[in-house]
């Protein structure tokens, strides 16, 4: 086992041990690389969604939110090309019968058994999940679970043009579940069949589309560095070669993250051209275009799409935050250097003993701080063990209440990263956290 593998396994085991993510249907032995998020993972995913929404929607005057249905008229997926083209190349290993995505095979070697160049020919495998709507399971009632949220924005283009009181360029943004019958899900929450996407379709004039593609590449890249605090050397932008492009794309750039096994896609920023609006105009018979008021002619806008998975971001954050540090005489601590905006718990309140007078003070502090921050109160185990646990879940600050607190009305604040401790009066706590965490 190499170092990279150890780290991957460590992150997965920390996640299960502490309550970030568990195998779904755990008591039945799990199910096909699906995951349920625990109390920490749920909170962290919510923080990621909120930060994305703030950056992409709330802080911009020309991006508007949408919540579209997961199950739509199947004509949407015929017109979008997904029924015929949303495929991955599938091969079987003739030695071990494992099934793999052909474009994931390296050096013609089977990832399962290691045999060389012994695969079936490639065949296309469609990733759409099919279901039936209503009581009769026949072809007339087939519907699909959406494999991307994007089509919800395209089919609502006219509704938005008529209601938002804003001319192009404008964007429509959505956060929601998508489903793909992936050939080889795995690598924890990196690739799953049910996942959550955050996507934005930015409609613009064709002649401005290259400019806006560059614009969104930079905006999105900077967001990872400035807001999610992912170190620059763990990120890169990679432009797709022509042979890699999806059926709808004129050009795509990926923001890649250096995962424990190497570089992998974190977010795709695609130039979808007029592919989707033109396809849905044909499919629906409705004119999905916009008026150029100067020339009084209609044109089909082009679309730039930043698209990312919440689960994949969470995994990238865990990878970049995970650390094992030697603290004294061979003693080690595991910690997550999470940004405070992502950490599931921002402040832990730890009375040094279970004595009633200390509990009363500690619980009083928790009640006040809970109004503004994510707070955990914990009075079990030794203080050392409680600090280790908070380090492992990435809590930026711990407050300990001790017997001196009864006399000086002060508590100790411990910083996760430096382990420095500072004595501070209880009345100054709100100002301290306003300065360090914001409101
Ligand atoms: P890949 O090449 O990894 O299969 P893709 O290029 O098909 O991904 P897109 O269609 O561009 O992915 O989807 C946009 C984003 O959605 C991806 O960058 C990723 O963050 C996320 N995503 C896509 N598929 C999955 C999946 N199966 N599990 C988790 N996240 C996913």
What are the boundaries of each domain within the chain? 8-70+146-318, 345-437
How far apart are the CA of 243 and the centre of ligand 1, in A? 17
The answer for residues whose C-beta is within 8 angstroms of residue 143's C-beta and 6 or more apart is: 71, 72, 73, 74, 130, 131, 132, 133
Alpha carbon of 254 to those of 57, 218, 226, 240: distances in Å? 21, 11, 18, 7
Tokens of 57: 């929607």
With pLDDT > 70 as the criterion, what percentage of the chain qualifies? 98
Mean pLDDT of 8-15: 96
- Asked if residues 41 and 19 have their Cβ atoms less than 8 Å apart, the reply is yes
3-state SS of 298-309?
A: EECCEEEEEEEE
Which residue, judged by its Cα, is nearest atom 30 of ligand 1? 309
β-bridge partners, 92: 99
Residue 1 has pLDDT above 60, yes or no: no
Mean of per-residue pLDDT scores for the chain: 95
- Average pLDDT value for residue range 411-423: 97
pLDDT of 5 higher than 90: no
**Residue 386, H or E segment:** helix 383-393
pTM for the structure as a whole: 0.95
Using the 8-state DSSP alphabet, how is residue 310 labeled? H
**Ligand 1 pocket, residue 265 CB under 6 Å:** yes
12-22 tens-digit pLDDT? 999 999 999 99
| CA separation for the pair 193, 204 (Å, rounded) | 32
Tens digit of each residue's pLDDT (9 = 90 or more) over 283-315: 999 999 999 989 999 999 999 999 999 999 999
Contact at 8 Å (CB) between 193 and 33?
yes
Q: What's residue 439's pLDDT?
A: 66
- Please give the average per-residue pLDDT across 92-111, as a whole number: 92
396 half-sphere exposure, CB direction, 13 A CA radius: 14
Place of tokens 């039945």: 28
Q: How far is the CA of 200 from the centre of ligand 1 (A)?
A: 14
- In order of 208, 254, 303, 304, 330, the CA distances from 211 in angstroms are 5, 17, 12, 10, 54
Sign of the dihedral through C-alpha 78, 83, 84, 85 = positive
CA of residue 47 to ligand 1 center, whole Å: 20
CB 44 within 8 A of CB 20: yes
Ligand 1: residue whose CA is nearest its atom 31: 309
Q: Which atom of ligand 1 is nearest to the CA of 185?
A: 27
Mean pLDDT of 211-226: 98
CA torsion 66-67-70-74 (nearest 10°) is -40
47 pLDDT above the threshold of 90? yes
Query: Is ligand 1 within 6 A of the CB of residue 82?
Result: no
Q: Average of pLDDT values for 420-431?
A: 97
- How much distance in Å is there from the Cα of 309 to the middle of ligand 1? 7
Q: Which CATH number applies to 8-70+146-318?
A: 3.30.930.10
Average pLDDT over residues 114-122: 93
CATH architecture entry for 345-437: 3-Layer(aba) Sandwich (3.40)
Whole-number Å distance, alpha carbon 310 to ligand 1 midpoint, is 10
* CB 199 near ligand 1, within 6 Å: no
Residue 149 clears pLDDT 90, i.e. is over it: yes
Q: Can you give the pLDDT at residue 377? A: 98
pLDDT reading at 385 higher than 90: yes
Give the residue, by CA position, lying nearest to ligand 1 atom 24: 191
Q: pLDDT confidence of 33, banded at 50, 70, 90? A: confident
The verdict on the CB of residue 147 being under 6 Å from ligand 1 is: no
Going through 310-383 in order, the beta strands assigned E by DSSP cover 322-328, 331-336, 347-351, 375-377
Q: How far is the CA of 388 from the centre of ligand 1 (A)?
A: 35
**What letter does residue 424 receive in the DSSP assignment?**
E
pLDDT surpassing 80 at residue 261: yes
Ligand 1 atom with the shortest distance to the CA of 193: 27
Phi-psi region of 318 (alpha: psi -120 to 50; beta: other; left: phi over 0): alpha
pLDDT attached to residue 3: 61
Which comes out higher in pLDDT, residue 390 or 5?
390
Q: Is 192 in the pocket of ligand 1 (CB under 6 A)?
A: yes
Instruction: Tell me the pairing of strands 262-273 and 129-132.
Output: unpaired
pLDDT of res. 2: 57
Alpha carbon nearest to ligand 1 atom 28, residue: 191
Q: How far is the CA of 190 from the centre of ligand 1 (A)?
A: 9
Residue 328 has pLDDT above 90, yes or no: no
What average pLDDT score do residues 210-214 get?
97
pLDDT of residue 392: 97
CA–CA gap between residue 59 and residue 72 (Å, rounded): 30
Q: Is 376 in the pocket of ligand 1 (CB under 6 A)?
A: no
Cβ of residue 307 lying under 6 Å from some atom of ligand 1: yes
| Pocket lining: 191 vs ligand 1, CB cutoff 6 Å | yes
Question: Of all protein residues, whose CA lies closest to atom 26 belonging to ligand 1?
Answer: 191
For residue 244, the number of C-alpha atoms closer than 13 Å in the C-beta half-sphere is 13
Instruction: Quote the tokens at residue 47.
Output: 């923080």
Q: Would you place residue 358 in the very low, low, confident or very high pLDDT band (cuts 50, 70, 90)? A: very high
Query: Average pLDDT for residues 125-132, to the nearest whole number?
Result: 95
Torsion of CA 365, 371, 374, 377, to 10 degrees: 30
Mean pLDDT of 374-403: 97
- Please tell me if the CB atom of residue 220 comes closer than 6 angstroms to any atom of ligand 1: no
H or E segment at 85?
helix 82-85
Q: Please, what sign has the CA dihedral across residues 214, 219, 222, 228?
A: negative
343 within 8 A of 313, measured Cβ to Cβ: no
List, edge to edge, every strand of the sheet that includes 262-273.
Answer: 63-65, 170-179, 194-204, 302-309, 262-273, 251-259, 235-239
Is residue 384 scored above 90 in pLDDT?
yes
DSSP string, 230-284: --GGGEEEEEPPGGG--TT-SEEEEEEEEETTEEEEEEEEEEEETHHHHHHHHHH
Sole residue written with tokens 């938005």: 160
Pocket test for ligand 1, best of 196, 264, 265, 271 (most atoms within 8 A of CB): 265
55 pLDDT more than 80: yes
Q: How confident is the model at residue 325 (pLDDT cuts 50, 70, 90)?
A: very high
């Amino acid at each position: 086992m190499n170092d990279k593998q150890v780290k991957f396994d460590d992150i997965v085991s920390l996640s299960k041990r502490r309550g970030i993510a568990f195998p779904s249907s755990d008591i039945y032995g799990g199910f096909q690389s699906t995951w349920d998020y625990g109390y920490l993972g749920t909170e962290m995913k919510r923080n990621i969604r909120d930060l994305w929404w703030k950056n992409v929607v709330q802080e911009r005057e020309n991006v508007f939110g949408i919540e579209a249905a997961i199950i739509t008229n199947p004509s949407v997926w015929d017109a979008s090309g997904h029924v015929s083209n949303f495929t991955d190349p599938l091969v079987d290993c003739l030695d071990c019968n494992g099934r793999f995505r052909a474009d994931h095979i390296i050096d013609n070697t089977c990832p399962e058994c290691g045999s060389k160049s012994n695969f079936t020919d490639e065949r296309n495998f469609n990733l759409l999940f099919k279901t039936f709507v209503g009581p009769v399971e026949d072809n007339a009632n087939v519907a699909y679970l959406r494999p991307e949220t994007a089509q919800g924005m395209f089919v609502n283009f006219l509704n938005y043009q008529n209601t938002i009181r804003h001319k192009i360029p404008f964007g429509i943004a959505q956060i929601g579940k998508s489903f793909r019958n992936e050939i080889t899900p795995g690598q924890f929450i990196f690739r799953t069949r049910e996942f959550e996407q955050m996507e934005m379709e930015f409609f613009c004039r064709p002649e401005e589309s290259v400019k806006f593609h560059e614009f969104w590449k930079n905006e999105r890249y900077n967001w990872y560095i400035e807001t999610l605090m992912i170190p620059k050397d763990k990120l890169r932008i990679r432009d797709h070669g022509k042979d890699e492009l999806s059926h709808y794309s004129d050009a795509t750039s990926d923001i890649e993250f250096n995962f424990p096994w190497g570089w992998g896609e974190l977010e795709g920023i695609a130039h979808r051209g007029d592919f989707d609006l033109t396809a849905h105009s044909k499919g629906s018979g409705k004119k999905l275009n916009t008026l150029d008021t100067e020339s009084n002619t209609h044109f089909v806008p082009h679309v730039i799409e930043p698209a990312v998975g919440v689960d994949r971001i969470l995994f990238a954050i865990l990878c970049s935050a995970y650390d094992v540090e030697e603290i004294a005489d061979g003693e080690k601590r595991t910690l997550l250097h999470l940004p405070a905006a992502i950490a599931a718990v921002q402040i832990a309140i730890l009375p040094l003993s279970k004595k009633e007078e200390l509990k009363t003070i500690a619980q009083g502090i928790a009640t006040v701080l809970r109004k503004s921050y994510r707070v955990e109160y914990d009075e079990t185990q030794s203080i050392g063990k409680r600090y280790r646990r908070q380090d492992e879940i990435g809590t930026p600050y711990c407050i300990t209440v001790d017997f001196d607190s009864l006399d000086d009305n002060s508590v100790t604040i411990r910083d996760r990263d430096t382990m420095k401790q500072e004595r501070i009066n209880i009345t100054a706590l709100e100002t301290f956290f306003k300065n360090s965490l914001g409101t």
